[in-house]
Amino acid sequence: MEKLGLTKENWERFLEWAWDFTPSVLSAIIIFMLGLWMIRIFSRGLKKFFQKKDYDETLERFLYDLFNIGLKLLLVVLVITQLGVQTSSLVAILGAAGLAVGLALQGSLSNFAGGVLILFFKPFKIGDFIEAQGISGTVKEISIFTTKLNTFGNQLAIIPNGKLSNDNIINYTAEGIRRNKIDIGVSYSSNIKKAKDLLLELINEQQGVLQDNPPEVVVTTLGDNSVTLSLRYWASNEDFWAIHFYTIEEAKKRLEENNISIPFPQREIKLYDMRGEGNKTIGVS
């Protein structure tokens, strides 16, 4: 021991200190293990409670995460206190650490605040189809720091709550119904009234179209190559896309069957004969 720099007196002091400190360590370990077990039981009970009550799913997940993290932090404080750290010293340490962590994790704190705002104002909920931060998708999960979207291509998009709560959000699901506008161009030589009647007949045939606000067809622009007809109607979220795609395909078919052409851009090219034999005009679409 003397070779290691430990005298007999120092070694005895170390053994005495270890003997006195061992009960605190063992009790801290017991408290930690028992605390984790109790937190697991509480978490299971909280889940069962939420399952029995018809609370908003977003609120349930947020509260679950908040209680889970809060209880674990409380357990850590109890374990440190059991090891002999004075409460006043612990408060000072936590205060200094909290300041340092707060400065280092400003983004995370912003995301936490954003999560609270989303929970309070409820701009969307799980299952809504939204567009935010340039991403469109169905809300899969709202946690304390992030929101997860399932995109049209089945990719998982994770958006920080801080950015999400401070930017524009379009919620396509919230109102239950949506208005659609389909623009169709017809030639200037076509019968505009007949084209409007055909489109109205087509859209009114579909059961998913809502008649509280009747569909309409209006002329919106007189373009270079065509007259633009705008077909407007209301439909439920469930029927929206099916009606949209069917209407576009069927509109082309019915207009062509009634000799109403849908023009496309054309270009006229003139060829000049430098030998003086005349000019030639070639129409190229």
Task: Say what the pLDDT of residue 162 is.
Answer: 87
Give alpha helix (H) positions in 139-187: 161-165
Size of the chain, expressed as the number of residues it contains: 285
272 touches 215 (CB < 8 A):
no
Task: Say what the pLDDT of residue 266 is.
Answer: 65
What residues contact 107, with CB distance under 8 A and at least 6 apart? 160, 162
Task: Say what the pLDDT of residue 163 is.
Answer: 87
- For the stretch 213-250, pLDDT in tens is 899 999 999 988 899 999 999 999 999 999 999 999 99
List of domains in the chain: 8-104 (1.10.287.1260), 115-171 (2.30.30.60), 177-257 (3.30.70.100)
Q: For the chain, give the mean pLDDT.
A: 80
| pLDDT means over runs of 10, the chain (285 residues) | 55 61 74 84 79 66 75 78 64 60 58 81 89 92 88 93 89 92 92 94 93 93 90 94 95 93 72 59 50
Beta bridge partners of 151: 137
Give Rg (Cα) of the chain.
35
159 touches 118 (CB < 8 A):
no
pTM surpassing 0.75?
A: no
Determine the angle formed by the axes of helices 57-82 and 8-52, rounding to 10 degrees.
Answer: 160
159 touches 135 (CB < 8 A):
yes
3-state class of 138 per DSSP? strand
Q: Nearest 5°: CA angle at 157, between 151 and 160?
A: 140
- For the stretch 26-70, pLDDT in tens is 777 887 888 888 888 888 887 777 777 666 666 677 777 777 877
Dist. CA 85–CA 182, nearest whole Å: 70
